[in-house]
Amino acid sequence: MTDHVIIGSGINALVAGAMLGLRGQKVLLLERSDRAGGCLRSEEVTLPGFTHDVMAATWVLFMTSPAGAALGPDLARHGFEYCHAAHPTAVLRPDGTALVAAMDRAANVAAFNALTAGDGDRHARDVGAIEADAPFLFALLGGSLWSWPMVKLLWGQVRKRGLRGLAAWMGAALASARGWLEGYHSPLVQALWAPWVLHCGLTPESAYSGQMAKVVAFALEAAGAPVVKGGAAVAVTAFRQLIEEKGGEIRCGADVERILVRDGRVTGVRLFGGAEIACGSVLASVAPGQLYGRLLEGVNLPKDQAAARGFRHGRGNFQLHYALDRSPEWLTAGLEDVALIHLSDGIDAVSKSANEAERGMLPEVPTICVGQPSRLDPSRCPDGKAVLWLQIPDAPRVIKGDAGGEIDGQDWAAVREAFADRIEAILARHIKDFAAIKLARRAYSPADLEAMNINLVGGDPYGGACSIDQFFIWRPFAHSTNGRGTVRGLIHIGASTHPGPGLGGGSGYNAAKRLGA
């Protein structure tokens, strides 16, 4: 008998397990894979001595989250340490022009005004408004939506703004990123923030993508784009040691076959192989299809099961990793110490590549995010060498064709390396002697990512499409309420639930708090 069984071991499962363990409750995390961490995975996938974060890499959301604040000191005791770059992000356009953002609002305001008079002042107003609304906005984005604290929060806003004023604020928050960014005159400022909406599972035309882009701009300016020293797997080790220190356990190679339910209440779980584990509650960090199509198979939940069948997943993700003989020498100055560089021409380019991916096409010119983790953390590779982490957040889940008309095939196994060649050709145009310094590369298609993590359906790393009908109070379903349903003792957590994807650990934190942590 254990107090809580947690299915999965991604960031939300780890946060929930650690939070509950710190309150003296016994937790057991069951991970079907041979290693813990979910999307937190570090390996030597190119050459010995070169450590790559195969999936998730940047920890700004955790660093600034309630979960990070609650668990940070204990995780630090177990070796969890952040590494920062001088500049969190930049954009590099095809013509070689670039704009670098600093962790300094005054510097950004000056740089943007130098490009076009007034753009820096607009940035100060827009990001300043996010800062002014931060207590309300971040509680809304990350808190338990169906709760008395949320009622009190909203009532406080009604008293502050008036009912019509609050409605107007929410209406403005639904504006698209295109609508926001086209208010800037400089194409470089537009291009700097446009790709970030893809990391929120959105596009420049999506509802509320403008607000999310402003939130990203605020977070990067305030906290940067840190990585964990030694790789994401070091963070998993810190969580494991904390959970075990408090009497909990993470068991890998333990695939849950069924959640056991009697008289409408959870009684435990059964593993493949027949072993049964009794528990007081189950926290399931899985995609809706897994929960209602497999784990609760046979339980009479017609409303949830019908909703799960209609749940939509978003674009796939493509990862590309390089081992280099030396640090890249960018042909555009000023990019050496930037954590994350987007290669994109701007709003229209981001919109085009995302639209192509959503239609099942390999983007002709994909939006590329280049991470330089070894500049932040030299321990990732041998002295003098370097690693690059590339994420392409607009890959099709199912291939119907090639928008460029050059790559044949509709199976990721057949086209993966050709698509990687397309990405590499774009990257190589901006780095001196790239072919000469490239030692090895490793590509992961959306199909590869799903094979490593069953919850990445079609390679979707965001737990489902993040369009407004599947977000906030409607995530994952229109009738969802804080991850709870009709089965007592069961809480659904993970990227498919509010507050959605990313390394903030919000749903695990909220669930643990509801259970008394």
Written as six digits, the tokens of 215 are 């939130």
Q: Which of 17-31, 133-147, 162-176, 264-278 has the lowest mean pLDDT?
A: 133-147
DSSP class of residue 501 equals S
Cα–Cα distance measured from residue 500 to residue 465, given in angstroms and rounded to the nearest whole number: 10
Written as six digits, the tokens of 90 are 């930049």
Q: What residues pair up with 390 in beta bridges, in sequence order?
A: 320, 370
Q: What is the mean pLDDT of residues 435-464?
A: 97
Residue 427 pLDDT exceeds 90? yes
Written as six digits, the tokens of 57 are 């890499």
- For residue 34, give every residue at least 6 positions away whose Cβ sits within 8 Å of its Cβ, in sequence order, or none: 252, 253
Cα–Cα distance measured from residue 12 to residue 493, given in angstroms and rounded to the nearest whole number: 7
Residue 446 pLDDT exceeds 80? yes
Predicted local confidence at residue 1, as pLDDT: 84
pLDDT tens-digit map of 307-351? 999 999 999 999 999 999 999 999 999 999 999 999 999 999 999
**For residues 339 and 376, is the Cβ–Cβ distance under 8 A?**
yes
Predicted local confidence at residue 517, as pLDDT: 74
Residue 476 pLDDT exceeds 80? yes
Cα–Cα distance measured from residue 119 to residue 262, given in angstroms and rounded to the nearest whole number: 61
Please tell me whether the overall predicted TM-score, pTM, comes out greater than 0.85 for this model: yes
For strands 256-262 and 265-271, give the pairing.
Answer: antiparallel
Q: What is the mean pLDDT of residues 200-205?
A: 96
In the 3-class helix/strand/coil scheme, how is 185-203 assigned residue by residue? CCHHHHHHHHHHHHHHCCC
Predicted local confidence at residue 489, as pLDDT: 97
Predicted local confidence at residue 516, as pLDDT: 87
pLDDT tens-digit map of 74-109? 999 999 999 999 899 999 999 999 999 999 999 999
Q: What residues pair up with 490 in beta bridges, in sequence order?
A: 282
User: In angstroms, how far is CA 28 from the centroid of its own chain?
Assistant: 25
Give percent above pLDDT 70 in the chain. Answer: 100
All domains of the chain, ordered by start, with CATH?
Answer: 2-32+253-310+465-514 (3.50.50.60), 104-223 (no CATH)
